[in-house]
Amino acid sequence: MKCLLSILVFALSIHTHSIAQDRIFKNDKLGWTMTLPAGWAQMPDNMMANMGPMPGLNGDSAGMLLVLMKDRANYLLSFLKKPEPSDGKWEDVQKEQDQRNYDFCTRFAQMSAGSSKSDSSTRYEKISNISFRVFETRAYSPGGQIVLDQLSFTRLVSGNTLTVIIQAGNDMDKKAILDAWRSSVFKNQPVER
């Protein structure tokens, strides 16, 4: 996941574009509609398709749904991934991913702020009446300020894992992107697990 995030952040820092005036993202397969916050740029579909192999996405970028970026510290990326038969139970796979996210945040705190303090929490949250598993990880500076706040929303949808990762570097941008995500509408209601 760390490699995937690094590739996406680098790609977005090189080339992003604003979406249509109405700032609406739609995915017909999921029936997902999201109004995007002002100031956030969307990675073009053709750029996502040409990114080549993407770790964690069955070897390619075909599972990418939406990639948004405000700046290097603030982004949203979403993808749909079909679990491999060898992955094991969905809940166990999510716990393993949680541990990787936590380790990443701890390393980030060490490299960027000289601190190894981080914490995490797991909860469930409804988006458009659909329950998502949320794993939140925060990394802190030695003075106790949050230097990284990352949320991973996951849900099993028709045998695939829908993941939306939001990373925020400040409270204002976190509120803007979370408000947009939480206002999403899913018309093709995925089967509750």
Q: Give tens-digit pLDDT for 7-56.
A: 444 444 333 333 444 689 998 888 899 999 999 988 766 665 555 444 44
pLDDT, tens digit, 9 for 90 and up, residues 109-122: 777 767 777 888 99
Closest CA to 184 of 83, 85, 65: 65
Which pLDDT score, from 0 to 100, does residue 5 have?
Answer: 45
Predicted local confidence at residue 85, as pLDDT = 62
Instruction: Give the CB-side neighbour count of residue 160, counting CA atoms within 13 A.
Output: 17
* Per-residue pLDDT tens digits for 48-80: 555 544 444 444 455 888 989 888 788 898 988
The more confident residue out of 11 and 157 is 157
Per-residue model confidence (pLDDT) at position 153: 95
Task: Using alpha carbons, select from 47, 20, 52, 45 the residue that is nearest to residue 35.
Answer: 20
Q: How far apart are CA 55 and CA 59, in angstroms?
A: 6
Q: Where are the alpha helices (DSSP H) in 50-190?
A: 90-113, 171-182
Average pLDDT, the chain: 77
The mean pLDDT value for 88-93 works out to 78
Q: Where are the domains of the chain?
A: 2-186
CA distances for 186 relative to 34, 63, 162, 171, angstroms: 9, 18, 12, 26
- Euclidean distance between CA atoms 102 and 58, whole angstroms: 22
Contacts of residue 23, defined as CB under 8 A and 6 or more positions apart, other chains included, come to 35, 36, 37, 38
Report pTM. Answer: 0.78
CATH topology of domain 2-186: Protein Transport Mog1p; Chain A (3.40.1000)
* CA gap 180, 186 in Å, rounded: 13
For residues 147-163, average pLDDT = 87
| Residue 136: predicted pLDDT | 92
- If one counts every other C-beta atom within 10 angstroms of the C-beta of residue 16, the result is 17
**What three-state secondary structure class fits 118?**
strand
Give 3 or 179, the one with higher predicted confidence.
179
* Non-local CB neighbours of 68 within 8 Å, separated by 6+ positions: 36, 40, 41, 42, 43, 75, 76, 77, 177
